[in-house]
Each structure stands twice: as structure tokens, then as C-alpha cells.
Amino acid sequence: MPISEHVATMVAEVRERIAAARDRGGHRQDVTLIAVTKTHGADAVMAAWSAGVRDVGENKVQEAESKRTQVTVPVRWHLVGHLQRNKAKNAAKFDLVHSLDSERLAVALDDAAGEAQRVLEVLVQVNVSGEGTKSGFALHELPTVAERLHACANLRVRGIMTMAPFDADESALRAVFRGARDARSQLQAAGFRAEWLSMGMSGDYEVAIEEGATHVRLGTVLFGSRT
């Protein structure tokens, strides 16, 4: 089956599941489907666009830059992977950076956005589960982080991003996603609009939506296993 047909079929199925999960959760939020095309070619981006998906996620700045030269449609580019400070200038070209995970990175992104004469939309990454292998702020750090983010005039803090443990059961998933919701409330209490919650991947996106996710990052379920 051509990739465009496969992706169109999967996007239709996923959108049905998203709608059902939103109804079950009762948060009544809009949900943005982000097609994560890492390790897949530009044809995956084009297939997602043809299926009505307007948001594409990449883990690495370099891979996204390579694809941008081949993609002819105006998708919104999301950086969803860990970002090194020395790549901040390149990251400032994205529409939304999901992985603001340190104060030093915030300063680097603020400087890069200023040089580009734009306001960069970002999400604050939180490590709710406390896993040593995951980046992100602990929940207790957010008040201090929020205070310092107010000084970053070229960043617009739109909300929270988190990742749940890959082997978590449903109760553990819900605990992580509720923790992210609490983190968003902390940002809002600190004066940020922070309306977005980026959480949920191919294995857990329905639970994430039930818990209030506004953005889900899906790769495998749309494109198959990565090479």
C-alpha cells in the first residue's frame, strides 16, 4: 500500500479515537494531532499533509532542516526532542519547541529568538515521574522557573510537555498526566496563559487525552515502526 493511503487510513482511525477519548475525559479541549516523522522521509510529511494533518514533529534540528528543503507544503514544525543549547539558533525556526527543560536553554532560546526578531512559542518540559533517563523540571522547581521565564521577553510560554514511562500501567499513566495538568496550573498561577498540554504518544495518547492533553505526538501508530 502506498504510504499516502496507509497514513490516510491511520489518521482517520486515530481521529476517531481522539474524539472518543475527549468525550470520555470530559475536558472538552481541542486536540492537535502532531505527526512525528523522525527517521521517516519527506514523503511521510507529505502523506500526513494529504491526510489533513497540519502539524509535524521532529526530534532533531538537523533532520527537520533536511526535510524542510524537500517539503513544499506549509506544515507547522514542532521540535519534540531534547535540545542542546548550541542548537538554539536553529531551534528558533520552529513553530513550537516542546522541550524547554533548563533555565540555561531558556536563555539561549530567548537570545536566539531575539536575534531572529520573533517571539518563539515554547512548552516547559516537566519530569513528573522523576525518571533519571528523562529530561525536564521537577514540579517543585516550577515557581522559580516561572519567575525566571518572565524575564525572557522573546519566549511565549504556551504550556507543559511531559512523557510517561514506556512501561507504565494505566494508573501510573494517569498520575503522570495529572501531574502535568498540575504543572500547567502552576504556570497559570504565575501569570502565563499556558493553555496547552503536550502529552501522549502512540502507546498512551488516549489516556492522555482523557486527562486533558491538547497536543498528542504520534509516530509509530501513523507510519509504522521506525527504521
Q: Are 163 and 201 in contact (CB under 8 A)?
A: yes
- For residue range 192-203, list pLDDT tens digits in order: 999 999 999 999
pLDDT value of residue 1: 77
- C-alpha grid cell for residue 31? 486536540
CB atoms closer than 10 angstroms to residue 223: 23
- For residue range 118-157, list pLDDT tens digits in order: 999 999 999 998 888 889 999 999 999 999 999 999 999 9
- For residue range 81-109, list pLDDT tens digits in order: 999 999 999 999 999 999 999 999 999 99
Q: pLDDT averaged over the chain?
A: 96
pLDDT value of residue 225: 80
pLDDT value of residue 38: 94
pLDDT value of residue 60: 96
pLDDT value of residue 226: 63
Q: How far apart are the first and last CA of the chain?
A: 18
